Amino acid sequence: MKKNLIAVIVMAALLALYLVFTFQYALRLIGLDEIVGKLEGIALIVLPLIGAWALVSELVFGVRAQHLLTRMTALGALPVDDMPHLPSGRIDRAAADLEFPRYQAEVEAAPEDWTAWYRLALAYDASGDRRRARWATRKSIRLERAVELGKLRRRVNK
């Protein structure tokens, strides 16, 4: 996990550096007398803004997903990792696919349970479906935040 955090910090720093240089170059282009240069400069300002938004949203997603993982660990609600692994350390996809219906059934039985959604996200990830894993993680984050907000409201109203 520490290695992943260092990689995220390095990548975020490199992207931030790239965005700063792109923004500075865009300002130079806008300062030109030529209309084409000005238009290119304006276009280059949009790119750093989109990049900054993407960077922040991915970092927020990562922090929130890590928070759920920490809570699930504390609750003892993580699935037991007893599936066969490949030499690379990844879970064998065929074995993960066999376990997947169990986690899907948990979500169908309790669609408002954020822990069930997070376990489903882990099952999607183990099966190699990253897009759905991120979608299920986002759903889990929304549900967990709603639960915490409900608890906070109840405390305030007492």
CA distance linking residue 97 with residue 70, whole number of Å:
25
Are 101 and 66 contained in the same domain? no
Are 105 and 53 contained in the same domain? no
Does the pLDDT of residue 140 top 80, yes or no?
yes
- Banded model confidence at residue 51, pLDDT cuts 50, 70, 90: confident
Residues 142-152: pLDDT tens digits? 999 999 998 88
Mean of per-residue pLDDT scores for the chain: 90
Kindly report the backbone phi and psi dihedral angles of residue 83, in degrees, each rounded to the nearest multiple of 5, phi listed first: -85, 155
Mean pLDDT of 67-71: 95
- Banded model confidence at residue 73, pLDDT cuts 50, 70, 90: very high
Is 24 a domain residue? yes
CA distance linking residue 101 with residue 109, whole number of Å:
12
Are 67 and 100 contained in the same domain? no
Is 136 a domain residue? yes
- Banded model confidence at residue 157, pLDDT cuts 50, 70, 90: confident
Mean pLDDT of 93-110: 93
The span from the first CA to the last CA of the chain, in angstroms, equals 40
Is 132 a domain residue? yes
Q: Which residue has the higher pLDDT, 113 or 15?
A: 113
pTM of the model: 0.78
Are 102 and 63 contained in the same domain? no
Are 28 and 61 contained in the same domain? yes
CATH of the domain at 103: 1.25.40.10
Is 86 a domain residue? no
Q: What is the pLDDT of residue 1?
A: 59
Look at the chain and report how many structural domains it folds into: 2
Cα 134–Cα 103–Cα 135 angle in degrees, nearest 5? 15
Beta bridge partners, 85, equal: 91
Residues 104-133: pLDDT tens digits? 999 999 999 999 999 999 999 999 899 999
Full residue range of the structural domain in which residue 48 is found:
2-75
123 closest CA partner among 111, 141, 137, 108: 137
Q: What is the pLDDT of residue 117?
A: 97
Does the pLDDT of residue 62 top 70, yes or no?
yes
Q: What is the pLDDT of residue 60?
A: 93
Kindly report the backbone phi and psi dihedral angles of residue 90, in degrees, each rounded to the nearest multiple of 5, phi listed first: -70, 155
- Give the CA dihedral 80, 83, 87, 92, nearest 10 degrees: -120
